[in-house]
């Protein structure tokens, strides 16, 4: 069990960020069998052949040698700086890794899980290893994640809007409620059910909160440099993205409103912008705008400006209709 002791300043100094390469790292771990679950069948069927092809045609096995079940080289998934983080930012951080640091982390990985492929070992020992790893991550990102990133990013952005509102309005207890079954708030401490047993004092430095898609259905905690103290958790809406059949609106609601409007109403359990809805549901922005206008005229959704965005949310009537079960 991990116990993170928080102080008054930790709430003020905590922040949210997204991490593109962390998503790729978790996807690769899942496909290589290091994760604790498999991808949903449609994603598995689509990505498994790409994964096999990249292992045969690129240096992906070098990247995989830097992952073990309970450890991974930190330089291949650098800590994100902000919500505006891009994969180009991440790759620049990877390329800037000092060779001495990379060799230290490579050595730790090989100590835990020795590699036997001489070609892989040769690259890991070569002075160009950081560039090779960065180039391979770049290829893997564009082949395996880039197409889905807008929808994944929309899910993470929506989660941040929801979770940040809870954190600012209700503190840790509100923000951690429902975040993950292994995470709870208890009398000044964030408690995480974990294989490690440790007590960590945040010391007013705050906590980095990172919503993620491919960490699902697990939760991860970072306590060692170069990452700040961080909690990576499944973003709200991840299950509907990875397993859309679980998020299919009830038949009667779809019959009443039409399938697309029913999906929009079901998705608006948390506020979202037109762009986020379009990306998350893979619908044309114009179509989403038209459907939202109909739902708004019917009194099922409302809208309000938040910064530069206009966010839509369900009204009490919309909540009641979306919660109506099928016969």
**Least confident interval from 94-108, 217-231, 246-260:** 246-260
> What integer pLDDT is reported at residue 325 of this predicted model?
54
Residue 246, pLDDT above cutoff 60: no
Mean pLDDT of the 19-36 span: 92
- Give pLDDT tens digits for 290-327: 999 999 999 999 988 766 778 888 898 888 887 755 44
Q: Is 243 a member of any domain?
A: no
- Give pLDDT tens digits for 138-188: 999 999 999 899 888 888 888 888 888 888 888 899 988 888 999 999 888
> What integer pLDDT is reported at residue 307 of this predicted model?
65
Q: Is 327 a member of any domain?
A: no
Residues 97 and 113 in one domain: yes
Residues 284 and 261 in one domain: yes
Supply the range of the domain harboring residue 317.
248-322
Q: Is 80 a member of any domain?
A: yes
Residues 65 and 163 in one domain: no
The Cα–Cα gap between 311 and 72 comes to: 38
Secondary structure of 239-250 as H, E, C letters: HHHHCHHHHCCC
Residue 137, pLDDT above cutoff 80: yes
Residues 110 and 27 in one domain: yes
Residues 36 and 141 in one domain: yes
**Least confident interval from 64-68, 112-116, 207-211, 320-324:** 320-324
Closest CA to 152 of 15, 17, 284, 281: 281
The Cα–Cα gap between 91 and 150 comes to: 18
Q: Is 77 a member of any domain?
A: yes
The Cα–Cα gap between 278 and 281 comes to: 5
- Total domains, the chain: 3
């Amino acid at each position: 069990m991990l116990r993170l002791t928080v102080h008054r300043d930790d709430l003020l100094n905590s922040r949210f960020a997204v991490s593109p390469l962390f998503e790729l790292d978790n996807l690769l771990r899942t496909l290589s069998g290091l994760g604790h679950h498999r991808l949903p069948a449609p994603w598995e069927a689509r990505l498994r052949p790409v994964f096999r092809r990249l292992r045969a045609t690129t240096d992906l096995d070098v990247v995989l040698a830097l992952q073990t079940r309970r450890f991974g080289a930190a330089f291949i998934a650098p800590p994100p700086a902000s919500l505006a983080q891009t994969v180009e930012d991440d790759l620049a951080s990877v390329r800037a890794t000092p060779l001495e640091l990379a060799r230290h982390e490579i050595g730790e990985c090989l100590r835990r899980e020795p590699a036997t492929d001489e070609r892989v070992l040769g690259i890991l020992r070569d002075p160009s290893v950081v560039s090779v790893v960065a180039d391979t991550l770049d290829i893997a990102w564009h082949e395996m994640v880039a197409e889905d990133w807008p929808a994944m990013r929309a899910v993470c952005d929506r989660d941040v809007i929801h979770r940040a509102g809870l954190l600012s309005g209700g503190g840790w207890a509100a923000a951690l409620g429902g975040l993950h079954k292994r995470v709870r708030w208890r009398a000044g401490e964030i408690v995480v059910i974990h294989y490690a047993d440790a007590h960590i004092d945040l010391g007013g430095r705050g906590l980095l909160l990172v919503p993620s898609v491919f960490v699902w259905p697990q939760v991860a905690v970072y306590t060692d440099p170069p990452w700040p103290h961080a909690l990576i958790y499944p973003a709200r809406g991840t299950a509907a993205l990875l397993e859309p059949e679980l998020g299919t609106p009830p038949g009667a609601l779809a019959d009443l409103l039409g399938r697309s409007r029913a999906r929009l109403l079901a998705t608006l359990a948390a506020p979202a912008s037109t762009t986020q809805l379009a990306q998350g549901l893979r619908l044309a922005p114009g179509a989403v705008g038209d459907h939202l206008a109909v739902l708004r005229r019917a009194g099922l959704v409302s809208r309000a400006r938040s910064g530069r965005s206009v966010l839509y949310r369900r009204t009490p009537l919309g909540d009641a209709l979306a919660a109506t079960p099928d016969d």
